[in-house]
Chains A and B, each alone.
Chain A
Amino acid sequence: MNAHGTVHKYGDDVDTDVIIPARYLNSSDPKELAKNCMEDIDKEFVNKVKEGDIMVAGKNFGCGSSREHAPIAIKASGIACVIAETFARIFYRNSINIGLPIIECPDAAREINAGDDVEIDFDSGKIYDRTTGKEYQGQSFPPFIQEIIKSEGLVNYINNKKL
């Protein structure tokens, strides 16, 4: 599985309130949520983002509220993968559970610039910045979590293993 797209770049401590403000949580429809994704931090995001694009951010991405609406909105907006220095733990879980690919890679998170053309190989965790020519090795998931990702989310994993 691969991703290849243009980078949208953000800083440290991007919280789930700016990813999807609470005033839109009266809906749980992914398409509705995607219309307001990142609105309070980047009004232009929804106009700029294209299917397959990549989001890159600093430390503690997705901190705050446990709203699963946040990774759902990012995924429905077309983002194929989020790279960050670190993720807040509930966002990390939620992304894996709903099948939004995420990678922790401090070097890539710091060095990749907005607008760069970036390729990601999920199996190896390799990140290649075509614009700068630099390659990075993202942190790989433990086998248990890889199984959830291969099942395309926790629901399928549970259906196959437990029910």
Chain B
Amino acid sequence: MSMTMTQKILAAHAGLESCQAGQLIEAKLDLVLGNDVTSPVAIHALDNFKKKEVFDKDKVALVMDHFTPNKDIKSAEHCKCVREFSNDNDITNFYDVGSMGIEHALLPEKGLVVAGDCIIGADSHTCTYGAVGAFSTGVGSTDMAVGMVTGEAWFKVPSALKFVLKNKPAKWISGKDIILTIIGMIGVDGALYRSLEFAGDGIQYLSMDDRFSMSNMAIECGAKNGIFPVDDITREYLKAHGEREWKEYEADEDAPYDEVYEIDLSTLTPVVAFPHLPENTKPVKEAGDIKIDQVVIGSCTNGHISDMQIAADILNGRKVAKGVRVIVIPATQQIYLECIEKGYLRTFVEAGAVVSTPTCGPCLGGHMGILAAGERAVATTNRNFVGRMGHVDSEVYLASPAVAAASAITGKISEPADLGL
């Protein structure tokens, strides 16, 4: 029976020769992830289990990233709960302030997720690790608790949509533009319960950071996961970031796909998703005259070093428009250090931006850049739902780091071409 790449990974982890869409399976997990918002709920759920010990202290990752450094007393209590749990259970991969980064940038950087893995995380953007050729998906806290104790999770095997990416991306087109374009094409429930599988010669032009952005936002069209084939770019990344052996899976040539879409990357233009859904995409050049109050460059979607580099290249020697607040958030301590070494931090500060410690912060309206009523932000984050970054009457426009940085300079939604770049 022919299978998709996702189905092959799931079958292998369920101890089956093969599996097909719709089948219910129980799969062994290589990693179970939680953060400071979702882990306390999972830890409290453990009180109701007959057995409370984690299945493997090396295969649980707990990352304090959402409301950290703690924004208030309640979030400090949450982190304390997870810290004590980690100490009591001798959890190897507990990341607190000082070592933590935004979870989905941190785990690949630490080599904790590799090709062929089967991973669940109590965070919807856990689908990010499809970029390295792993099956990974977001779940809730109860699934996380069960995963921590049993090392297993139940799944309904998904069918898949295939996206064939062709040709070299046009100038300034990043993974973010590609995935926003896809979400605009199929809608926020266009891949509900299904996988996105990427293919095509265009993949060779996409950096790992581009791929992380794309797999990261698979959830924004309802997908269970979004996965890339493993190539030399993946292998080089995996070798540079860890010691774990990986396993490469390939979709069968006649694998069953519900739909196959072709996208010519050379014809794409920078896009922006208007409030209040990621599917409301438009080319930036058709956005009109939309004045902005804030720009956020960061998040699990676009807080990687290449995102910082693009922002620095555009902000270098320029000044942020009067009345615009620009917040740059490198996603991990390692990326933060690289920003210092490469001079990006100086560029950001000299341009009039502020630079924050790694945190999810404003992306989910947590802290570090909340919007007032009537305010608008261009953000490299992943959601523009009502009230996502603050007041219910505020607005978030999703875009790439290049569009966000260009908008910071002009004070309205713009693309690098508007600066003559």
Residues of A within 8 A of B (CB): 13, 15, 17-18, 21-23, 25-28, 40-41, 59-60, 63-69, 71-72, 86, 88-90, 93-94, 97-98, 142, 144, 153-156, 158-159, 162-163
Does B213 interact with chain A (Cβ within 8 Å)? no
Query: Can you sample 23 A-B contacts with CB below 8 Å?
Result: A15-B385, A25-B67, A26-B72, A40-B392, A60-B189, A64-B219, A67-B37, A67-B38, A68-B142, A71-B140, A89-B192, A90-B219, A93-B143, A94-B140, A97-B143, A98-B140, A155-B45, A155-B48, A159-B48, A159-B49, A162-B150, A162-B152, A163-B149
- For residue B48, which residues in chain A have a CB less than 8 angstroms away from its CB? 155-156, 159
- For residue B145, which residues in chain A have a CB less than 8 angstroms away from its CB? 155
Interface size on B (CB < 8 Å)?
51
Expressed in whole angstroms, the Cα–Cα distance for A88 and B66 within the complex equals 22
Expressed in whole angstroms, the Cα–Cα distance for A94 and B124 within the complex equals 12
- For residue A156, which residues in chain B have a CB less than 8 angstroms away from its CB? 48
- When A and B form their complex, what is the total count of cross-chain residue pairs whose Cβ atoms lie within 8 Å? 136
- For residue A162, which residues in chain B have a CB less than 8 angstroms away from its CB? 150, 152
Contact status B49-A158, CB under 8 Å: yes
Contact status B364-A17, CB under 8 Å: yes
- For residue A40, which residues in chain B have a CB less than 8 angstroms away from its CB? 386-387, 392
Which of B44, B72, B140 is the one whose CB lies under 8 Å from A28? B44
Does B122 interact with chain A (Cβ within 8 Å)? yes
- For residue B142, which residues in chain A have a CB less than 8 angstroms away from its CB? 68, 94, 97-98, 153-155
- For residue B123, which residues in chain A have a CB less than 8 angstroms away from its CB? 66
- For residue A59, which residues in chain B have a CB less than 8 angstroms away from its CB? 189
Does B365 interact with chain A (Cβ within 8 Å)? yes
Contact status B139-A60, CB under 8 Å: no
Expressed in whole angstroms, the Cα–Cα distance for A93 and B146 within the complex equals 13
Expressed in whole angstroms, the Cα–Cα distance for A158 and B192 within the complex equals 27
- For residue A69, which residues in chain B have a CB less than 8 angstroms away from its CB? 37, 41
Expressed in whole angstroms, the Cα–Cα distance for A71 and B41 within the complex equals 13
Smallest CB gap from A60: residue in B: B189
Query: Known contacts A158-B146, A162-B150; is A93 also within 8 Å of B222 by CB?
Result: no
Does B366 interact with chain A (Cβ within 8 Å)? yes
Expressed in whole angstroms, the Cα–Cα distance for A18 and B122 within the complex equals 19
Query: Known contacts A13-B189, A17-B386; is A66 also within 8 Å of B138 by CB?
Result: yes
- For residue B71, which residues in chain A have a CB less than 8 angstroms away from its CB? 26
- For residue A86, which residues in chain B have a CB less than 8 angstroms away from its CB? 189, 192
A69 to chain B, nearest CB (A): 7
A5 to chain B, nearest CB (A): 25
- For residue A65, which residues in chain B have a CB less than 8 angstroms away from its CB? 124, 364, 383
Among A64, A72, A89, which residue has the most Cβ atoms of chain B within 10 A?
A: A89
Contact status A26-B49, CB under 8 Å: no
Contact status A90-B386, CB under 8 Å: no
